[in-house]
Every structure is written in C-alpha cells, then in structure tokens.
Structure 1
Amino acid sequence: MPISRSPIISLAAAFFATVFIGFGANYIFRPYDAFGTFGLPYVSNAADQEIIDSFCKLFGVKDLFMGFSIFSALLFGSRRTLGALLIASSAAAFADGAIVKAHAGTGEWNHWGYGSMVGVVGLLASGILG
C-alpha cells in the first residue's frame, strides 16, 4: 500500500483540520487572547480594539475554511486534493510566520513549526513524497 493511502496520513490530516478549526474558533470567539499568538501588543483605545478584533475574526474565518476544506477533501475528495489543500495550508502558515517575524521580530516558529508538519503530510498524502 502506498504511503498516501496509509490510515496514519488520514489521522494526521484530520488532526491538522481539527487544529485549524480550533484556531479559527479561538480567533472568532476570543480575539483578545488569540491576538497574543502574533506577539504584537494589544491596542488600548476602543476604536483600534474594534479593528483588531475584526481582523482576528477574519483570520479565524480563514482558519475555519482551511480546517473544513481539509476535512471535506479527506471525506469526499481524492488524496491529491487533500495533499494540495494541506500544502496550501502549510504555505499560509509560512506566510503568517513571515509576517509575524517582520512586525514582531519573533514568534515566527509558532507558525512555521506546525506549518512544516502540515506540509510534509500534504506531500505524503499527494504522493509527491514517499
């Protein structure tokens, strides 16, 4: 059996989909706490707080989309589609980390750490690696 068909790949993909959904829910329902993951200081005036909270909700919707799309590909799609979505999610995590690094000077590995694991699982699921 090719590694792309391994149940371990399915479990890993489901795990990462669940993580993305958890991150998304956290950004939507707890924007103040979730904003801390960026390593940036939270603003003090009400108008700016509203903008930051809205930004966090937008970010949360992106994470929910990634999680649910991974689950959809896992349940209804092909392994190549699943792999492509995992690789795209990995790229988004790397971009998030680069942006955090550019603005906060640190915290990039909070994104790059899981992003690299998601990318490897995506490469395995698609059959590109292994």
Structure 2
Amino acid sequence: MPSPRFWSNAGCALGLAPAVYGLHALFAPAGALAGFGLPGGSTLQDRALAQGLLRIYGVRNVVISLTLLTAWYRGHRETQGVGLVLGALMPLVDGLVFKDLLGGGEWKHWGFVPFLVGIGAGVLGWLG
C-alpha cells in the first residue's frame, strides 16, 4: 500500500485541478463557456450573466485549490483528506447541472469524483 506521504502528495496534485479550470474561467470566461459547451448568450445581457456566473465558478475553484494546497503544505492531512472527499460534491453537482441544462456532458465532471474520494480516503488512512 502506498505511504501516507504518497497519498498526501497525490492529493496536492489533484488539488491543483480546480485552480486550472478556475483561472481559465476567471481570465477567459467566453473561452471557458465554449470549452464547456455552454451557450454564451444571444444578447449582451445574457452574455454578461453567463460570464459573470462563470467568474463565480472560477473563484470557487481557485479557493478550493488554495484551501487544499494550504492543508497539504501545513501537513494537516485530516483536513486535506476531508477536503478532497467533500470536494467530490463539486463535480457531482456540476455534472447534474450539465445533465439538466444540456442533456449530457455530466461525465466530463463525474470522472473526477472517484479520484477525489479515492485519494481523499488514502490521505485519511481509510485504505489501509
């Protein structure tokens, strides 16, 4: 079984993923919308709303990443592990929203769930 340090470092690496998506959403919201397959809006007001919501998503993701990275850096494995496991709710709900709004695309999000739960469980020592 991998060492606790392995799991913690894997959690650190996985904790960077939300920041990548978040920074893209913050600095290129129109491109991020297109990348997600979301409509950008047909009117100026619709586009402003869509891009504003994507910026909220971006900040959320960056904050989650910084929280996980801080727990890793400070050696707070329990906080890091719980954060990873609970962080699985983000792509779970994101996928549900995509399925509801677009009728698909949920697995682009749900694919992260087993990694977050699995690595979080490893960090917490649940895997042995």
Q: TM-score, normalised by structure 2?
A: 0.90
Q: Is this contact kept in 2: 1:4–1:125, CA < 8 A?
A: no
- The equivalent residue for 1:49 is 47
- The equivalent residue for 2:124 is 126
* Aligned-residue offset at 1:37: 4.4
Q: Give the aligned length.
A: 128
Identity rate, percent: 27
Alignment partners' CA distance in 2, 1:100 and 1:57: 17
When residues 68 and 52 of structure 1 are mapped into structure 2, their CA distance, relative to the original with a 3 A threshold, is same
Q: Is this contact kept in 1: 2:71–2:77, CA < 8 A?
A: yes
* Aligned-residue offset at 1:78: 2.1
Cα root mean square deviation, aligned:
1.6
Alignment partners' CA distance in 2, 1:63 and 1:35: 15
Q: Is this contact kept in 2: 1:39–1:100, CA < 8 A?
A: no
Which protein is richer in helix relative to its size?
1
Letter in 2 for 1:124: G
Q: Is this contact kept in 2: 1:80–1:127, CA < 8 A?
A: no
> Which residue of the other structure, out of 4, 10, 15, is the alignment partner of 2:8?
10
* Structure 2 SS opposite 1:107: coil
Alignment partners' CA distance in 2, 1:39 and 1:70: 28
Alignment partners' CA distance in 1, 2:78 and 2:2: 12
> Which residue of the other structure, out of 96, 104, 107, is the alignment partner of 2:105?
107
Alignment partner of 1:82 is 2:80: yes
* Aligned-residue offset at 1:77: 4.2
- The equivalent residue for 2:20 is 22
Letter in 2 for 1:30: A
- The equivalent residue for 1:71 is 69
Question: Unpaired segments of 5 or more residues in structure 1?
Answer: none
Q: TM-score, normalised by structure 1?
A: 0.89
